Structure 1
Amino acid sequence: MDTARIPAHLEVAGLLRAVEAQGGFGTVLAKGEHEAGTLLVICCDRGTNGCLFERMPQLDGTRKWTLSKQESHENPLEITEYWQRRKRQDHDLWVIELDHPEATRFLT
């Protein structure tokens, strides 16, 4: 098990550059702790069909991107409300949005 982590600000910058290099758009919605902040990533396509992913610890000690929320037509603000609530609880949290038709592929 490898416990080394890339600093959060570098991971964020890499995700944003990768999506932009493929013709998408990436933005930071909330900045977290520079080195060890947790990341929430919202993937969408032209601002719709949002899905929120966060890295969850696995039994083997790794951390895997896991779908936490999906945009709902009944409550389109659910993802925003969720990450804002999480940010109030965890000031180290980064929230970024990747807008690209295949945004989830950048999480691999």
Structure 2
Amino acid sequence: METARIPAHLEVTGLLRAVGARGGFGTVLAKGEREAGTLLVICCHRGTNGILFERMPQLDGTRKWTAIKQENPENPSEIMEYWQRRKRQDNDLWVIELDHPEAERLLI
């Protein structure tokens, strides 16, 4: 059963506040559609070892945060190039970065 979605801008604000409350840092890299935009989240620690997450539809109708790309030490700009390419195709896309050793825990 699919659950109701909270507006994208509220989810972004909540994630940024949650990482800040834990002593981390969060920033919006790209703003999307305020109510129903898709959200990509880059979790990293001290700006490195980034992992890009997106909610992916599951067979039961839910949407689960899934790691879709991990930073390649030989090409650290790969994640940025990926989300910028996606943003050009989808103006509704939000991209945020959460910088904290346990940032992934904020994704429920």
Q: TM-score, normalized by length of structure 1?
A: 0.98
- Alpha-carbon shift at residue 3 of structure 1 (Å): 3.7
Q: 2:65 aligns to what? A: 65
Q: 1:38 aligns to what? A: 38
Q: 2:103 aligns to what? A: 103
The total of aligned residue pairs comes to: 108
Q: Report the residue type matching 1:86 in the other structure.
A: R
Q: 1:4 aligns to what? A: 4
SS at match of 1:52: strand
CA distance in structure 1 between the aligned counterparts of 2:41 and 2:7, rounded to whole angstroms = 16
SS at match of 2:98: strand
Seq. identity, %: 84
Instruction: List 4+ stretches of structure 1 deviating above 4 A.
Output: none
The root-mean-square deviation of aligned C-alpha atoms, in Å, is 0.7
Instruction: Structure 1: give runs of 5+ residues left out of the alignment.
Output: none
CA distance in structure 2 between the aligned counterparts of 1:60 and 1:2, rounded to whole angstroms = 8
Q: TM-score, normalized by length of structure 2?
A: 0.98
